[in-house]
Structure 1
């Protein structure tokens, strides 16, 4: 029997189980992958709202990454809810150190109402530290507009222009949802 592909998700824990690392791990299990996780935050949330967030320290995130990547390795890594400048820098350094074959960056930047959740430095660090590492970046339309500081993406021409800009910033492949 073939060994399953090792997949690592880096992001927040959703107590409701519908998003974050729980959703990634469930999906990968169904598809036959071996899922591993590194927590950046633990949330108290349900289907309606995020009630509270506790952030992990950069040192703890690095420790988790070191533990997983130095032993198991990972064929692919996917990032999700990062939200803090110091976490983005720490994660970027570890990804550069271990060089997984595939890196997927899902820039979780807005809440379910489409409002930006983080200070602008987080957006800037996604562009400077994570996009250049991305084999695939998967923002939704609102996150794309936030990343590029542009107006609403409401036409094929704007969508194409946004994808071209993300590619120019270093992302190898772009999937705007």
Structure 2
């Protein structure tokens, strides 16, 4: 049983790495060329010019639900894409984590793990945007991305239940 899961997990792990690459490309590089040296140069510049970092922090949205409320009020297609895109981007993350950690039981540990990892990954990406001056830090992105991870976790557990009724979730794999 363990070897069967290991054989399935290798391609899923590869897909997870590809997903993380695409996520980084979308959030940090806005679909452009992925250039890690650019990030290092930007971070180095920010560290040597702290006033620049303070300016970026002053422009950041640190008020929860402000951007979300503005997006909902605007009725703009772009704003709706921003809003729901932030959720959608992290749904796969919420599916990959329980699969790769074999957390197929509906338990608080699995949901807690997805919550913490979704929040931590998003916080890392938001802070990278702030420090490297390649986007705006927005606390609402933390809320929406983490919610997306949780939606993915719920979807994963629903899929496990639907595809293997009567079996234990662990035996479904």
Q: State TM-score, norm by structure 2.
A: 0.25
Q: In proportion to residue count, which structure has more helix?
A: 2
Q: Whose Rg is larger?
A: 2
Q: In proportion to residue count, which structure has more strand?
A: 1
